[in-house]
Amino acid sequence: MTDRELDAAGITDPALRAAYTRCRTLNARHGRTYFLATRLLPAARRPAVHALYGFARRADDIVDDLGATATPGERADALDALHQRLRSGLRGARTGEPVVTALADTAARYAIGPALFSDFMRSMRSDLTVTDYATYAELRRYMHGSAAVIGLQMLPVLGTVVPRATAEPYAADLGVAFQLTNFLRDVGEDLDRGRVYLPADLLAAHGVDRDLLGWSRATGHRDPRITAALTDAEALTRRVYTAAAPGIELLDPVSRPCVRTAFVLYGEILDAIAADGYAVLHRRAVVSDRRRAAVALRGFTGALFARGRARLRTAPPPSPAPVASASASVGSGRGAA
């Protein structure tokens, strides 16, 4: 399937194909929902999505998984080196970094501006020193680089039926909605890394602070104040989904099933969190494989329908029959009658 995607995208250089294949492997391994939704795009557009994901994953791995003994300074140096390779790659240089090679090619193909990648790297670097956010406004500023720009990077690949600028606010909100969902799902894991992504003022409104979260995580005990705060965070996240939803209809019809599937599946992570009693400090809420398959099947049906309509719109009209032949046919019919 990888070769078919690369062939469809017109990616023929062996080194470039290997770079895109590496990104696809990262997407399949680490981004289950993201990868599943990507399968609903036309084959020619999938490599670009894999490249965007692969680079983001590489940066995230430096921040969180570079090695248990890596210091913040070593992580910062690694991020800086990745960013420098990215700058070089976007200028056309060979960097030897597969995710950068694929990303630079995608950026050139889809005219994705370098500022979006710089904003992303800035937020990744802040994760090395910033461990919490006083207000939602502060968190949104961080999420511009960590989430909103992902939606903006994706938009040229997905295509739109309106001027791109019209669709951009919705794409940015959708990226934020997905990340807020991950923040809520991963509260416990993020706390283990020393970070709290839920706004401190939202937590404080329910009498919750970092110490209470840490106590609950360490002891396994529940607290109604935490449940109330998490419920409030879920409601906040759903409001962002509501703001983002109209943007789906602004996309190229062949891309809508992909984004709609991701929209539904990420939203159902919130459903799973609520159904599990907001126990995210103690275990990860998941959407069942059966449910994921059902949503994906519905998306696949929609994708086939959209591609069929697209082919009809682009097919050349049938050639009219030559006048002489038409006359002969009419004359012949009359004679037979």
**pLDDT tens sequence across 254-302:** 999 999 999 999 999 999 999 999 999 999 999 888 888 888 777 767 6
- Mean pLDDT, range 34-57, rounded to an integer: 93
- The larger pLDDT score, comparing residue 2 to residue 49, is at 49
Look up residue 176 and give its two tokens.
């934020």
pLDDT at position 328, please?
Answer: 31
Write out the H or E segment, with its range, that includes residue 67: none
- The larger pLDDT score, comparing residue 258 to residue 305, is at 258
Q: pLDDT exceeding 70 applies to what percent of the chain? A: 88
- Mean pLDDT, range 325-336, rounded to an integer: 34
Residue type, 222: R
Which residue is associated with the tokens 């800086």? 80
* pLDDT level of residue 329 (50, 70, 90 thresholds): very low
pLDDT at position 306, please?
Answer: 67
**pLDDT tens sequence across 152-168:** 999 999 999 999 999 99
Work out the number of other CB atoms within 10 angstroms of the CB of residue 124: 22
**Comparing 70-79, 124-133, 292-301, which segment has the lowest mean pLDDT?**
292-301
**pLDDT tens sequence across 169-223:** 999 999 999 999 999 999 999 999 999 999 999 999 999 999 999 999 999 999 9
CB 301 within 8 A of CB 258: no
pLDDT at position 48, please?
Answer: 97
- Per-residue DSSP letter, 220: -
CB 155 within 8 A of CB 170: no
pLDDT at 337 over 50: no
Give the DSSP letter string of 133-178.
Answer: -SSHHHHHHHHIIIIIHHHHHHHHHH-BSS-HHHHHHHHHHHHHHH
pLDDT at position 333, please?
Answer: 39
pLDDT at position 172, please?
Answer: 98
* pLDDT level of residue 304 (50, 70, 90 thresholds): low
Q: pLDDT exceeding 90 applies to what percent of the chain? A: 76
**What pTM was computed for the model?**
0.87
